[in-house]
A = this chain, B = another copy of it.
Amino acid sequence: MTSATGSTPPVRVAMLGCGTVGTQVERLIREQSADLTARVGAPVELTGIAVRRPHRHREVPEELLTTDAEALVASDVDVVVEVIGGIEPARSLLLAALRAGKSVVTANKALLAEHGPELYEAADESGADLYFEASVAGAIPLLRPLRESLAGDRVNRVMGIVNGTTNYVLSAMDSTGAAYGETLEEAGRLGYAEADPTADVDGFDAAAKAAILASLAFHTRVPAEAVHREGISRVTAADITAARGMGRVVKLLAICDRVVDEDGGESVSVRVHPAMIPRGHPLATVGGAFNAVFVEAEAAGQLMFYGQGAGGPQTASAVLGDLVAVARNRVAGGRSPRESAYAELPVRPMGQVATRYHISLDVADRTGVLAQVAAVFAENDVSIATVTQRGHRDEASLVIATHLASEDALRGTVEKIAALSAVREVVSVMRVEGEEP
């Protein structure tokens, strides 16, 4: 193989953006040049890097830098690697590249989640490749297994921790008992949260990833806006304490479910929200920068993928893996799997999605309160699994775990319970995941 590569023309690569990830991509292409040549069957040549302010990028060779991204994409390159992030100008640049038959490797989850079909179509028309492993869970090979390894199986569930910032904040709240606001501030000081943490703490980042995972897992287009999204900003120290009291921990989960109705009709439920999981659950011990994702498939059973979900070198590893695949296809022929959206399953409205709940209430310590509360649950058709009643002096608490209940029914129940005169405060309402029914 090595002997043939001397004469094979190089695969020419343009890179858009040069931040934490791009810097590492440039380094890896340079340092692993001989390996890449052997693995691809031709040299991989980085011909240019488009950035806004070239003087800020002293860590990469100056002669590669350009401010004209459009011209770089239009130049004589085979592959465009995009690590700018955000929707524009990334979208226009990648569409231009794909339409010109240039293959694309991107780490851009927001773009994929919002404009995936448009990109796939452009790739399809020109026969170019579109790879995006780095867009979800950093270095963890997750999309390729879903797109390819499990292509002969039927995936029923994908559930995981896919955002490092929120995982850091929730872990810290769990270990210190501190409130959300001060923990987030501390996370910012330590570099675990961005200056503007909205995309992370409000769940936008995780929701984009959930949309991509669900689309691949269920062969169905799931746009980011179809993902039910709750962030962690309303998680209180009381929630965390309540979870601990039950031997649980609070995590922000991305959950993609295939739902089969009684009449056999199928739909998908895709959601991002905080949930309590048992401390013995494998996801409970996933800390800080690590991500972990469970996949349940009919034949394969339960699989877990674990690794670093963010970071320059880690994300660059995923980009390079895709780059090798794209470059190999250029040299040896072949194509990335096309969009597979044939199943066209409807996305179930969150109100109709059934999960189990934990509810903790501060109530007046008098007889009959439990009966009152239980009656409201019964009226709203929410079945109680366990109740724990604790009282001292005139204060008392009720901790209730429900069986599977729809979001709509649960919300209705909680509203009415909050209005009961005997209920002083609804301390915590949170979904419970990861337990056997």
Contacts and interface: CB of A to CB of B under 8 A. Distances in A.
Interface in A34-74: 35-36, 38-39
Interface in A320-364: 320-325, 328-329, 332-335, 337-338, 340, 342-343
A307 interface: yes
Interface string A128-158: 0000010000011100110011111110000
A318 B340 CA distance: 19
Could you say which interface size class chain A belongs to?
35 or more
A371 interface: no
Copies in the complex: 2
Interface in A294-325: 297-308, 311, 313-314, 316-325
A32 interface: yes
A226 interface: no
B342 A152 contact: no
A219 interface: yes
Contacts of A304: 304-307
B308 A305 contact: no
Given A321-B153, A332-B335, A299 B28 contact: yes
A363 B316 CA distance: 55
A153 B317 CA distance: 6
Given A334-B334, A340-B38, A342-B1, A148 B321 contact: yes
A311 B303 CA distance: 14
Nearest to A133: B149
A340 B335 CA distance: 19
A7 interface: no
A408 B231 CA distance: 57
Nearest to A143: B149
A1 B297 CA distance: 24
Nearest to A5: B342
A316 B322 CA distance: 26
A42 to B, nearest CB: 13
B219 A153 contact: no
Given A150-B317, A152-B324, A306-B306, 9 more contacts: A28-B299, A38-B340, A39-B342, A144-B145, A144-B149, A151-B325, A152-B322, A299-B320, A328-B337
